[in-house]
């Protein structure tokens, strides 16, 4: 009596639209957390991996390097996935290329001895 039939027919449609908005606003914090996680953790890690890969590919015979295990040495031979590192006069070890973490400036090892 007090509610017109046109208003009564649009009420369920308005309620359904409100439910959709509330579900979207409920997912908004989750989406924002993923975006922040991407820019704070994932993207810098991908950049660091790309830089490491470029450094490994640019290695050359005679480079002085530091390994993940803390060894310092000079690259004497290079293979596809491995390289030979001279850690002391007459002492050579064979390592995977991925074990190299840093290329040192020329003469850095001789100043350590």
Domain that holds residue 107: 60-112
> Which pLDDT score is estimated for 10?
55
92 and 64 co-located in one domain: yes
**CA-based torsion, 47, 53, 58, 61: positive or negative:** positive
12 and 43 co-located in one domain: yes
18 and 66 co-located in one domain: no
> Which pLDDT score is estimated for 22?
82
39 and 11 co-located in one domain: yes
Tokens (6 digits) for 113 = 């001895």
> Which pLDDT score is estimated for 15?
52
For the chain, list residues with pLDDT below 70: 1-18, 111-113
What CATH number does the domain containing 71 carry?
A: 2.30.30
pLDDT tens-digit map of 68-88: 999 999 999 999 999 999 999
Q: How many domains does the chain have?
A: 2
82 and 98 co-located in one domain: yes
86 and 71 co-located in one domain: yes
Strands across the sheet with 82-88, in order? 91-96, 82-88, 72-78, 64-67, 100-104
């Amino acid at each position: 009596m007090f509610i017109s039939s046109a208003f009564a027919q649009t009420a369920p449609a308005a309620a359904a639209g409100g439910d959709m908005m509330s579900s979207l606003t409920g997912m908004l914090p989750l989406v924002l957390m993923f975006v922040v996680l991407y820019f704070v953790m994932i993207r810098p890690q991908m950049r660091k991996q790309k830089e490491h890969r470029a450094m490994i590919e640019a290695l050359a015979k005679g480079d002085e390097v530091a390994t993940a295990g803390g060894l310092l040495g000079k690259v004497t031979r290079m293979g596809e996935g491995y390289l030979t590192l001279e850690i002391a006069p007459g002492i050579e070890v064979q390592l995977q290329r991925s074990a190299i973490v840093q290329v040192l400036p020329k003469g850095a090892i001789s100043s350590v001895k």
